[in-house]
Amino acid sequence: MSKDAADRQKAEGVQVLTALMESVERRLKELMKEIEDKQETTEKQAEGLIKDLEQEVSELMERSSEVEQLSRSEDHLHLLQSFSSLKAALCTKDWTEVRVHPPSYEGTVGRAVETLRKDMKKKLEKTELKRVQQDAVDVTLDPDTANPYLILSDDGKQVNHGDVRKKLPDNPERFSYCVCVLGEQSFSSGRFYFEVQVKGKTDWDLGVSTESINRKGKIRLIPQNGFWTVWLRNGSEYSACAAPPVRLCLRSGPQKVGVFVDYEEGLVSFYDVDAAALIYSFTGCSFTEKLFPYFSPGLYQGVKNSAPLIICPMWPIHGASTRPVVDTLLALCWPRTVSALAPDVGLMCTLIKPCNNNMCRNIIVQK
C-alpha cells in the first residue's frame, strides 16, 4: 500500500470513528432527556394529586371546625339554620383507585441503540460509496456492439430503444436479438466504478459482462453465462440476475445506480447513489477475462420507458492527471493570477465533481 493510500485509509478511519463518537454522544443526550422528561411528567402528576388531596384535607378540617363550633352553641335556632348548609356533602375524589404509576423505561435503551445502529449504517454506507467513487472511470458506449434498435447519443453517453431497426453490419460484436450495448472500455485488473442515471425508466439492465458472452441470440443474464447484472421490470420489480434470481426489496426506486467492480476480489456491487445505499453485491466471482460495462434500456413502449439510460460524468476520473483540470479551473476562477497561484508544486482539487466555474479557492490544496 502506497503512503497516499495509507493516508487516505487513516483519514477515512478517523472520519468514521469521529462520526461514531458524535452519534453516540448525541444519542446518549437524547436518551437522558427522554428519561428525564418521563420522570418530570410523573413528578408533576404526583404533585398535582398531592395538591388536590391537601385541598380536600383542608376543606374537611374546616368543615370539622365549623361543626364543632355549632355543637357548642346553645342557640338552637342558629344551629338549625346552619345545619342545612353543613349537611351538604363536600365534593371529594374517590382516592381508592388513584395510583401514580412510575414511568416505564422498558425498551428505551434498546430503541436508542437501534437508532444509533441505523445512523451508523447510513454513515458507513456513505463512506463506502465515497471510497468506491474514487475508482471512477470514463465509460462510453460502443456502437459496434449496440443492437440495431438502440439509439445512441453522439457522445456515447446515452442510449434508449427505438421502434425502427437500423441497417447495421452484423459484426461479431453486435447484439442481434437482445436490446443491449457494451461499453467501449474493458478491464482485466484492478477496480473500476461508473454511474448511470435511470430516472423515469420502468425497465433496465445494468452491470458488467465478459468478452466471450453470446451476442447472437436470446440471453440469460446469469454469472454462469458471463453476466453480473441487476434489473428493473414493470417499474417496481428489482432483481439481481443470479441463478435463481434474487428479488430485491428497495424502499424507493434509485434514480442513479453506481456499479463497482474489484477484479481481484471477485466483487461486483451496485449502489443507489442518491441514498448512498448498497443495492446488491455479487461476491466470490472468478474473473478470467476482460470485463465490459453492460447496459440495456429495456423496450420502448410508447411514452412508457422512453427515457434513456445516461452514463453520468464522474470527476476526477481514476488514473487521470488532475493537473490540467486544476490549471483550467484556476484559469477560469482567477485568470490574471493563474501563474502565481499554480506554480509547479502539484495541486489537487478535493471536489468529486466540477463546480461549474464557481469554485472556491479553499478547495485547492497542495498534495
Question: Where a domain ends, among 296, 311, 326?
Answer: 311
Q: Which three cell numbers stand for residue 307?
A: 427515457
Q: Quick check: is 14 in a domain?
A: yes
- Are 193 and 133 in contact, with CB atoms under 8 Å apart? yes
At residue 317 the predicted structure's pLDDT band, cuts being 50, 70 and 90, is: low
Q: Is the pLDDT of residue 83 over 80?
A: no
What average pLDDT score do residues 309-313 get? 96
Q: What is the mean pLDDT of residues 136-164?
A: 96
Q: Using an 8 Å Cβ cutoff, are 93 and 52 in contact?
A: yes
Name the domain count of the chain.
Answer: 2
**Is-above-0.85 flag for pTM?**
no
**pLDDT band at residue 323, thresholds of 50, 70 and 90?**
very low
Q: What are 181-211's pLDDT values in tens digits?
A: 999 999 999 999 999 999 999 999 999 999 9
Length reported for the chain:
367
Q: Which of 107-116, 251-260, 344-353 has the highest mean pLDDT?
A: 251-260
The three cell numbers locating residue 123: 454513515
Pair 174, 305 in one domain: yes
Q: Give yes or no: residues 282 and 148 share one domain.
A: yes
| Model confidence band, residue 10 (pLDDT cutoffs 50, 70, 90) | confident
- Whether residue 243 is found in the same domain as residue 307: yes
In contact, 178 and 147? CB cutoff 8 Å = yes
d(CA 185, CA 152): 16
Cell of 40: 418530570
> Does the structure show a pLDDT above 90 at 326?
no
Cell, residue 206: 445494468
Backbone angles phi, psi at 319, to 5 degrees: 90, -10
pLDDT at 185: 97
What pLDDT score does 180 carry? 97
Does 232 lie in the same domain as 194?
A: yes
Q: What is the CATH number of the domain that holds 228?
A: 2.60.120.920
Q: pLDDT per residue over 33-80, tens digit each?
A: 888 888 888 888 888 878 888 887 887 787 777 777 767 766 666 666
Mean of pLDDT values over 280-300: 96
Supply the range of the domain harboring residue 205. Answer: 143-311
Query: What φ, ψ does residue 153 adopt, rounded to 5°?
Result: -75, 160
Query: What local confidence, expressed as pLDDT, does residue 53 receive?
Result: 81
Among residues of the chain, what percentage have pLDDT more than 90?
47
